[in-house]
Structure 1
Amino acid sequence: MNKHELRTLARAHRLNLSTEETQELNAGLRSLLFSRIPIHRYSIIHAFLPILKNKEPDTYPILNTLLKDFAADVYISKSLENGELLHFPFEADKTYALNRWGIPEPETTEDGLSSETFFDTFKKEDILVLVPLLAFDSLGNRIGYGKGYYDRFLQYSTPKTLKVGLSLLEAYEPIDDASERDIALDFCITPTRVWKWD
């Protein structure tokens, strides 16, 4: 399948999940993430807030655990019209507004770090990036919504950055039109398995 076909299939698959199935899958994903990824190693963690109407992995319990039980600084992003992201510290007690795609994000652009500045600021730190996706394949290729935000963000990542996808669905067969410009994952956590690529 190509990216377009896979996006269509994965979107339909996710939307067909019942509320009970989604809750069970999220619980399995969280359990594997915290038991199999050495999160304590990372002083900077970049995460995403979910588009819950699209049944993305629910990262709110993950973020709450990170803030409660780990010493890392946690960041989230804001999408700009030019296709870039700005990055801000996550505040658990703050209400975030939904953007046009339904992503909760900071309303302001003030004091946000550009992607290049984010990785340059923390270039000496071990960084964990939890990456959103629609689907992924068995080779570690990530399929997003097609806007390229995370590919542009991750092009600045340092050798000390671990890129971990979160998916309620398992891997698909290798996609036909993967590009060298696509940033591959190091790991992907699903409710039943940890996928790893070198």
Structure 2
Amino acid sequence: MEILTKKQAREIFKEKRKNLQDTEVGRMSEQIRDLLFSRLMMHRYSPIHIFLPIKKHKEPDTSLIISLLRKDFAPDIYISKSEEDGTLTHYLYTKNTKLTVNKWGIAEPEKAKEGLSSKVFFEKYKNEDILIFLPLLAFDKTGNRVGYGKGFYDRFLEFANEKTTCLGISFFEPIDQISDVEEHDFQLDFCVTPKRLWQFKN
């Protein structure tokens, strides 16, 4: 049984991603997109909150998912800007949104003024089915996630409601168990890999 602490999982899976070739990243990103749209009823969700990949960390290419959403589904798509106080501000992401790269290598809205706080974001869409894509380094077979350890998404999801679906994306299959899960950690509803869509809650 593969049981790891968050720290161990971060180190192992950072190294695994580091060793991926760019061609592998592209191929697996396409597999993730295709599997996601074939297994999950994407049309039911609006808004959809998605992260843009940190290319130097070889994160899954979510632009493939965004392109298909815009082409066939037309939901409200949101991305975030990381603030100095550890919170996220959320912006509608359109084809006209100009991006700039922050100190972590994340593309964010440039000179954005009309962002929503996490609390206001969930209040605005309190009657809608919301889908949140979560970046991660690793996950386990019960839906626990290991992120980068900065807590941005934990603080964001404090305001989530019962109509919120949390979806992880991973190039790698889950480990058996993350041993040091804490009470404030949010569990995934789904996680999609190149091989399958994992579902954790009924």
What residue in structure 2 maps to residue 11 of structure 1? 14
Alpha-carbon shift at residue 137 of structure 1 (Å):
1.1
8 Å CA contact retained: 1:64, 1:92: no
The match for 1:45 among 45, 48, 73 is 48
2:38 aligns to what SS in structure 1? helix
- Cα distance in 1, alignment partners of residues 118 and 156 from structure 2: 5
- Cα distance in 2, alignment partners of residues 108 and 115 from structure 1: 19
The number of residue pairs the alignment matches comes to 198
- Cα distance in 2, alignment partners of residues 109 and 150 from structure 1: 20
Which runs of 4 or more aligned residues in structure 1 lie more than 3 Å from their structure 2 counterparts after TM superposition? none
Q: Where does 1:33-182 land on structure 2 (aligned, <5 Å)? A: 33-182=36-185
The C-alpha deviation readout for 1:43-68, integer Å capped at 9, x for no partner, is: 21111100011110101111111111
8 Å CA contact retained: 1:14, 1:169: no
TM-score normalised to the size of structure 2? Answer: 0.95
1:113 aligns to what SS in structure 2? coil
Alpha-carbon shift at residue 109 of structure 1 (Å):
4.8
What residue in structure 1 maps to residue 198 of structure 2? 195
The C-alpha deviation readout for 1:98-118, integer Å capped at 9, x for no partner, is: 111100001335211000100
TM-score normalised to the size of structure 1? Answer: 0.97
2:91 aligns to what SS in structure 1? strand
Structure 1: unaligned runs, 5 residues or longer: none
Structure 2: unaligned runs, 5 residues or longer: none
Which stretch shifts more, 21-30 or 2-11?
21-30
Letter in 2 for 1:15: K
Aligned Cα root-mean-square deviation (Å):
1.0
Q: Is 1:25 the equivalent of 2:28?
A: yes
Alpha-carbon shift at residue 173 of structure 1 (Å):
2.2
Q: Percent identity?
A: 49
